[in-house]
Chains A and B, each alone.
Chain A
């Protein structure tokens, strides 16, 4: 079956969207500027994300059978619609490049003398392979990854229990309300707002009208998981989380059970790698699919390789 004819079930969409949302956020502390109330910012940001989702749903319901590109043309007219679509697609490419760059910088902190290129090209090759294989492959992969993530989260949390200090979560809301709103906006935009990329794939879901329900489920699921991550990170690190580059990662570094269970942070690094990969690939796929549609091509596969090369330069530019 050609990749573009593949469909995924709404259930698979749930896994894909959840992994997408958790994606790059697992080693960071989203909403970190809210200090000890970051967890609240994450929670409220997720709720705000649900508003975005309601808008996407309304769009899907109003334009059944159409994806983002076609909707744009219907709403803005043929020319302006194309311009708006181009802007969206460039945004997807930009985010995708940013993500891979985040990856690369993270690993470059540990491996200082390895050229950044290695960390840029390797995931990119795998990513383009995934895009070639189609959305279903990514969705099935997400299923495994998400289960691993939840399992590891529980394991790490148990091992971290002795290092958690609930009083680190106090004081409640010590920052001005404007900064809090800013933090909430940040969380709502990344990752929840980014889910607009799924409007490109809406026709690949076997039951597009069901999709909204399953996406809401994954918004709630990953929202709750991100709040738990934030609570854990702040409880372990306290104020140290405000100066840490990768707070959730730093928190796991604290694990030390009798000098035996130590240095487990690599688990989180692996999770980050496998989750971020999905997110990057989804954006990559969205962009390529969108371009092929705009350019009225029969298949998106010829676009994958050229995209890969331009990526390379985009990374360096960022």
Chain B
């Protein structure tokens, strides 16, 4: 008996060894060397009306310069592949006609839509970006002045892959807060809401004497049909972010009656949208709380007294309020509820919302909005009064 058992064991062992020959990996394995890693995508309208032009920024590993090797030639470390198709997915797969490797999207960072396409409407082009497993919900959505393809083809410094460059611009927004940002998940939420208008960051090519460079500022605004209807400038964009509670930092420059300027650096900000229904008239109250540090001033007065700081705070409140008012005026002009005021009613006053729902598009442009700003200026930095102050005299 033990002998039989031993033979049995050896047989199992051999079978196990043999099967490892046949089950080496899965069907879907693709080696890194067979992949074209896409980091940025551009969507443009095509000369042929019904088609869409897609450009994919593919990292070209042979030209990526590393500090150690120093070399890599003068070619840019990326390649833009373009193709056309009736649908997004068709265009993407058509790219295999021009790209020897199949595109690989999980490392994609940004999706840029050309303004022309954005104005025509993006409704039909978003589905695949949410449905396909390879795209991530955290991809940033942008709208470009001109063609998205040109944005992706711009040579950038410091980070010489434009898609990463743009992603870093988005991360560094916390020092200015002057453009809105949106990723696929948030865009989906805005579209799925019953009233909120979708937004996207706005990027354009800026011509300076030496070079063309990317500049990201402002926010593109869409209507409920996902057609771009307008742009919020820097100031209005920050007004929008104040309401959304997404201001992370930035400089507020205020001027006092004597034409002295104060640059106040925002430390933090929170907001609260309170929907109310006063005698059948819907109103919104926006409460904004913020704090800042004094970063720079040309004021030569003695700042070592509390009144000076209270004065700064009142100027700051006024400035924030003006930014919000500007954003509100623009949004109401565009008839686009970028703030989610409709959603605020939907979430907190469901019954009121049921009455407003059908004609919210008419109500929003004339909606009464109260803005309450409470902000503080906290610390003066290393000096209290300006060096030219008349303190000692």
Whether A112 sits at the interface, judged by CB under 8 Å, is yes
- Given A109-B133, A239-B193, A242-B192, A170–B347 Cβ distance below 8 Å? yes
Q: In this assembly, does A144 line the interface, its C-beta being within 8 Å of a C-beta of chain B?
A: no
Report which residue of A237, A239, A243, A262 has the largest number of chain B beta carbons within 10 angstroms of its beta carbon: A239
B99 → chain A, closest Cβ, in Å? 19
Is A210 among interface residues, defined by CB-CB distance under 8 A?
no
Q: Is the CB of A170 within 8 A of B138?
A: no
Q: Mark A100-128, 1 if CB is under 8 A from B, else 0.
A: 00000000011111110010000000000
We find that the number of chain B residues with CB closer than 8 angstroms to chain A is: 19
Q: Is the CB of B133 within 8 A of A114?
A: no
| B189 CB-CB contact with A under 8 Å | yes
Q: B174 at the A/B interface (Cβ < 8 Å)? A: no
Q: Which one of A171, A240, A242 lies within 8 Å of B185 (CB-CB)?
A: A240
A254–B185 touching, CB < 8 Å: yes
Report the bound CA distance from A31 to B299 in whole Å.
Answer: 61
A243 with B188: CB separation less than 8 A: yes
Is B348 located at the chain interface by the 8 A CB criterion? Answer: yes
Say how far B159's CB is from chain A's closest CB, in angstroms: 13
- In angstroms, Cα B137 to Cα A262, docked, is 12
Task: Report if A114-B192 is in contact (Cβ < 8 Å); known contacts: A240-B185, A253-B136.
Answer: no
Tell yes or no: A174 within 8 A of B by CB. Answer: yes
- By a CB distance below 8 angstroms, the chain B residues around A174 are 346, 350
A7: CB under 8 A from chain B?
no
Whether, in the assembled complex, A167 has its beta carbon less than 8 Å from a beta carbon of chain B, the answer is yes
List which A284-314 residues lie within 8 A (CB) of chain B. none
> Is A256 an interface residue, CB under 8 A from the partner?
yes
CB pair B192 A254 closer than 8 Å: no
Within 8 A of A (CB), among B156-197: 185, 188-189, 192-193
Interface centre among A115, A238, A263 (most CB of B within 10 A): A238
Tell me whether B137 and A250 are in contact (CB under 8 A).
Answer: yes
- Bound complex: CA A238 to CA B192 (Å): 9
Instruction: Provide the bound-state CA to CA distance between A239 and B130, in Å.
Output: 14
Cα(A250)–Cα(B184), bound, Å? 12
Cβ-defined contact, A171 with B28, below 8 A: no
A113 touching B189 by the CB < 8 A rule? no
Q: How far is the CA of A167 from the CA of B189 in the complex (A)?
A: 12
Find out whether the CB atom of A239 lies under 8 angstroms from the CB atom of B192: yes
A243 CA / B188 CA spacing, docked (Å): 9
Given contacts A171-B347, A240-B185, contact A114 B137 (CB under 8 A): no
Binary B-proximity of A230-263 (CB < 8 A = 1, otherwise 0): 0000000111101100000010011010000011
Please tell me if the beta carbons of A171 and B193 are within 8 angstroms of each other in the complex.
no
Chain A nearest CB: distance from B103 CB in Å?
14
Q: Taking the nearest CB of chain B, how far is it from the CB of A113, in angstroms?
A: 5
By the criterion CB–CB under 8 Å, are B350 and A171 in contact? Answer: yes
Pairwise interchain contact A114-B26, C-beta atoms closer than 8 A: yes
Contact between A253 and B28 (Cβ–Cβ < 8 Å)? Answer: no
Chain B residues near A262: list those with CB within 8 A. 138
Residues of A within 8 A of B189 (CB): 237-240
A256 and B28 contact, Cβ closer than 8 Å, known pairs A171-B348, A240-B188, A242-B192: no
**In the complex, chain B residues whose CB is within 8 Å of the CB of A109:** 133
Verify if B27 is at the interface (C-beta below 8 Å from A): yes
- Which residues of A lie under 8 Å from residue B106 when comparing CB positions? 263
CA distance A240 to B137 in the complex (A): 10
In B212-231, the 8 Å CB interface with A consists of none
Per-residue CB contact flags for chain A residues 140-168 toward chain B (1 = under 8 Å, else 0) read: 00000000000000000000000000010
A239 to B194, CA, bound (A): 10
Least distance between B127 CB and chain A CB atoms (Å): 10
A262 to B109, CA, bound (A): 13
- Asked if B137 and A254 make an inter-chain contact with CB atoms under 8 angstroms apart, the answer reads yes
Within 8 A of A (CB), among B104-123: 106
A243–B191 Cα distance when bound, in Å, is 12
Measured between beta carbons, the chain B residues less than 8 angstroms from A114 are: 26-28
Are B346 and A110 interface neighbours, CB within 8 A?
Answer: no
* Residues on the A chain within 8 Å of B137, using CB: 240, 250, 253-254
Q: How far, in Å, is A277 (CB) from chain B's closest CB?
A: 19
A112 CA to B131 CA, complexed, in Å: 14
CB of A111 within 8 A of CB of B192, answer no
When the two chains form their complex, are residues A113 and B136 in contact, meaning their CB atoms are under 8 A apart? no
A256 CA to B183 CA, complexed, in Å:
12
The residues of B that contact A237 with a CB separation of less than 8 Å are 185, 189
Closest to A238 in B: B189
Asked whether B346 lies within 8 Å of A240 as measured between CB atoms, the reply is no
Most chain B CB atoms below 10 A, which of A174, A240, A242, A253: A240
A267 to chain B, nearest CB (A): 16
In whole angstroms, what is the CA distance A262 to B188 when docked?
Answer: 20
Residue in B28, B138, B346, B347 whose CB lies within 8 Å of A113: B28
Q: How far is the CB of A31 from chain B (nearest CB, A)?
A: 18
B273, closest chain A residue (CB): A167
Quick check: A113 and B185 within 8 Å, CB to CB? no
Note all chain A residues with C-beta closer than 8 A to B130.
Answer: 243
| Interchain CA distance A238-B187 in the complex, whole Å | 11
A253 to B130 alpha-carbon distance, docked (Å): 12
With both chains docked as a complex, state the minimum distance between the C-beta of A124 and any C-beta of chain B, in angstroms.
16
Question: Would you list which residues of chain B between 340 and 375 have a CB under 8 Å from chain A?
Answer: 346-348, 350, 353
Cα A250 to Cα B27 in complex, Å, equals 24
Q: Is the CB of A171 within 8 A of B346?
A: yes
Question: Complex formed: what's the CA distance from A163 to B79 in Å?
Answer: 34
Contacts of B353 in A (CB 8 A): 171
**Nearest CB of chain A from residue B130's CB, rounded to whole Å:** 8
Q: Chain A's nearest CB lies how many Å from the CB of B37?
A: 14
12 A-B pairs whose Cβ atoms sit less than 8 Å apart in the complex: A111-B26, A114-B27, A170-B348, A171-B346, A174-B350, A240-B189, A242-B192, A243-B130, A243-B192, A253-B136, A254-B137, A256-B138
Residues of A within 8 A of B (CB): 109-115, 118, 167, 170-172, 174, 237-240, 242-243, 250, 253-254, 256, 262-263
Known: A111-B27, A171-B353; 13 extra A-B contacts, CB below 8 A, are A110-B28, A111-B28, A113-B28, A114-B26, A114-B27, A115-B27, A171-B348, A172-B350, A238-B189, A239-B189, A239-B193, A254-B137, A254-B185
Q: Which residues of B contact A (CB under 8 A)?
A: 26-28, 106, 130, 133, 136-138, 185, 188-189, 192-193, 346-348, 350, 353
